[in-house]
A = this chain, B = another copy of it.
Amino acid sequence: MCVTDHDLVFKALADGTRRLMLDALHEQGGQSLGALEEIVAGHTDMSRFGVSKHLKVLEAADLVIVRKQGRQKLHYLNPVPIRVLYDRWIDKYTEPQVRALTVLKQKAENHHE
Chain A interface (Cβ within 8 Å of chain B)? 7, 10-11, 13-16, 19, 22, 26, 77, 79, 82-83, 85-86, 89-90, 92-94, 96-97
Taking A82-B90, A86-B94 as known contacts, 6 extra A-B pairs with beta carbons closer than 8 A to each other, sorted by chain A number, are A10-B10, A26-B92, A79-B94, A79-B97, A82-B94, A90-B90
Number of this chain's copies in the complex: 2
User: Bound complex: CA of A85 vs CA of B13, how far in Å?
Assistant: 12
Interface of A is mostly: helix
Query: B93–A26 contact, CB under 8 A?
Result: yes
Residue of B nearest to A13 (CB): B10
* 24 A-B contact pairs sorted by A residue (CB < 8 Å): A7-B16, A10-B10, A10-B13, A10-B14, A10-B15, A10-B19, A11-B14, A13-B13, A14-B14, A19-B89, A22-B93, A26-B93, A77-B93, A79-B93, A79-B96, A82-B90, A82-B93, A82-B94, A83-B93, A83-B94, A83-B97, A85-B90, A86-B86, A90-B90
